[in-house]
Amino acid sequence: MSEHVVKMIEEEDVDSRIRELAKEIDEEYKGEEVFLVCVLRGAAFFACELAKRITIPVTLDFMQVSSYGSGTRSTGEVKIVKDIDLSMKDKNVIIVEDIVDTGNTLSTLKGFFTQRKAKSVKICSLLDKPERREVNVDIDYVGFTIPDKFVVGYGLDYDQKYRNLPYVGVVEFD
């Protein structure tokens, strides 16, 4: 079985929406500082582009989480593989994710940062797949709401391929 990718969201549309999200963050946190926490690996492309366009003071750190263990289906238990290096106490934390589907990971992370005494905790995701939601989680900044399709590009992968595509595409199998 082979696969190919069909464009879903053009590069120019992704770029434009990231600029709009940065502007929304700038306006909401005017006169303050934000702490972006990028969830690796998929959100790295999005988080870096977003951080470049935010004009207020911004700090960026990275964490890696897993909810899959050794299988291919989520266990529902979120494990922190790589924690952030900086303290988030009294900071305006924005969790930056590539895609929200079940909501399990982000719900857990939001609680985790709240326990660490962050001043505020919000979520920014390039993509939202509400049809897959298992846990109700508020996404404060959404790039695009998409249908329940397997997408790649702009950091999202299929078997570690296609992360480098400058657009978001749907994987179709032959």
Active site (catalytic) residues: 101
Closest of 161, 154, 149 to residue 11, by C-alpha: 154
Positive or negative: CA dihedral 26, 93, 150, 153: positive
- Give the full edge-to-edge strand order of the sheet including 3-9: 3-9, 168-173, 151-152
In sequence order, what are the beta bridge partners of 7?
169
> Across the chain, how many H-helices and E-strands are there?
3, 9
Q: Where do we find the tokens 């589907």?
A: 101
Work out the number of other CB atoms within 10 angstroms of the CB of residue 69: 11
